[in-house]
Chain A
Amino acid sequence: MKRRPVNLIFGAALVALVTGAALLSLVWTPHDPVALNVANRFAPASATHWLGTDQLGRDVASMLMAGARTSVAVAFVAVVLGALAGVVLGLTAAALGGLVDDAIMRLADFGFAFPALLFAIMLAAVFGPSLTNAVIAIAFVNVPTFARVARAAAHQVWTRGYVLAARAAGRGRLAITLDHVIPNIAAPVIVQATIEFAIGILAEAALSYLGLGVQPPVPSWGRMLAEAQTLLFLAPHLAIWPGLCIMAAVMGFNLLGDGLRDAADPRLARAR
């Protein structure tokens, strides 16, 4: 019997929910997510305010939707930038080998050894906390991961018969990389990108929670958590909802990544 890819379906559904909410928030939210209404603060859930209001009377549901937009945008840009730089480095290392390979991989080790949060704090300290700096920090910590994944996959491709045949036909390293290596490493890189997306969302939430990411009044799940912290006993829902959102988004992308990996490599799925 063929096993249903439960991970893939559940993950894809969660991801669709989060990105759908983020996209929808571009054109419509139940209320203006940044409109203050102090008279109506700490309102309970109701037909007008689905998830109630916060300490400044902002609509929580609208803030969560706008927060999804921030999270997805930051994670997306960071993953794309990190993947581009990392894959280029990994392909270079695999194609040239020798000293270049060693140099790039030691650089990647250095990147791994450097704590992401520390790097973000450093960026914030030097350039001031901002969305851009959060993106740069998250992208930077993605680079070594992608470099390693791309290099490992590319190394395998370089040992294949068709690469030998291409070399025997007089094709250069660049042509072989473009024609043969890139299409054949796409699967692991896409899987890694999905998983890094989850890490990116978590990192954005963490940075915003610390005040190093998105600045007010732009809504962010991490900052909603930070603001709810002091009001935990007074209005627990203010912390619970963004927390659930972060969990759903991270779990969704992780499950999607797992599911894609199983789909890309059937042997792995059977071994489980």
Chain B
Amino acid sequence: MLAVAGLSVAFPAGTAVRGVSFTLAAGERLGIAGESGSGKSLLALSILGMAPPAARVQGSIRLGGAEVVGAGEPALRALRGRVAAMVFQEPLSALNPLIRIGEAIAEPLRLRRGLTARAARDRAVALLGEVGLPDPAAKARQYPHELSGGQRQRALIALALAQDPQLLIADEPTTALDAAVAARILGLLAELSARRGMALVLISHDLGAIARVTGRLLVMYGGDVVEDGPTAAVLADPRHPYTRGLIAARPRLDAARPPGTPLPAIPGAVPPLPALSAGCRFADRCALARPGCAVPPPPVAVAPGRVAACWAVAP
């Protein structure tokens, strides 16, 4: 239902997403991992045709049978919310503080679906129940500040589900939440996806979250997809040096690491846009870098259903 092909998003300062391709079947759950600045969020916004005005988007994004790249605002608005909806990172700022939760969900239903005020309100309460809020009728009458962080994120998910999208994009949905609440929200997302047959794109820098919820994983670095494959296989046997670094850098309680030793880390940071190289963008932080890395590595099949873009792993 979603097919991204050769997608590039360029700013005057540089190319932030470079030649990304993937497809997503109905009901499939995809994780996108990578550190800040890897282009994950921009990719997500681009799927809804919401890249910043300064960005030049090239390639193709087919969403529910319609082309997003180059589409006009009315066509995009018809897709947003109905075909694909999005849940954002900050559950407090993503809700208007002046609008009650129930109204926030009911309003678009009335205006876009033509529901009566009563039907829209009932639907809002039903949605709040579906996302697991206790006493949804009472919650519908409350303002965002009266809810806890986890409850606000549930309310936001209800808002995104209101128009029964076929695809839900969750951009770092648990970053602002504590671990226990985050785990429950992730469980909810997986459950909703399964129950509704709704495709899910989970964007996160937390590989644990992605492992819990998704069946397939894209690892992004500097605007490139560096590795793509079944989540379990990629995490168990990472091929790209960046994926290996990400997995090694995860803090783990069970790891045999003597107290006081620092966590393993990938040296350096994602360079700013203008400084990203034209070749392999990870080369300057990579232990396996070689002169050939000045040429961008093509995606290579490394195992059945698995692709990595690295000169060092080419079979």
Contact = CB atoms under 8 A, between A and B. Distances in A.
Interface of A: 97-98, 160-162, 164-172, 175, 179-180, 183-184
Interface stretch (B77-85, B250-258, B281-289): B77-85
B77 A179 contact: no
Given A167-B50, A170-B112, A161 B77 contact: no
| Interface of A, helix, strand, loop or mixed by DSSP | helix
B95 A162 contact: yes
A87 B156 CA distance: 30
Given A161-B93, A162-B95, A169 B111 contact: no
A47 B3 CA distance: 89
B236 interface: no
Interface residues of B, number: 31
A169 B88 contact: no
B155 to A, nearest CB: 11
Contacts of B108: 166, 169-171
Given A161-B88, A184-B98, A168 B107 contact: no
B98 A165 contact: no
A162 B96 contact: yes
A165 B82 contact: no
Interface in B61-97: 73, 76-82, 85-86, 88, 90, 92-96
Residue among B50, B96, B98, B162 having the largest count of chain A Cβ atoms under 10 Å? B96
A171 to B, nearest CB: 6
Contacts of A166: 108
A165 B112 contact: no
A170 B80 contact: yes
A161 B81 contact: no
Given A162-B93, A165-B94, 9 more contacts: A162-B95, A164-B88, A165-B156, A168-B48, A169-B80, A169-B85, A170-B76, A172-B77, A180-B96
Contacts of B76: 170
A170 B81 contact: yes
Contacts of A171: 77, 81, 108, 111-112
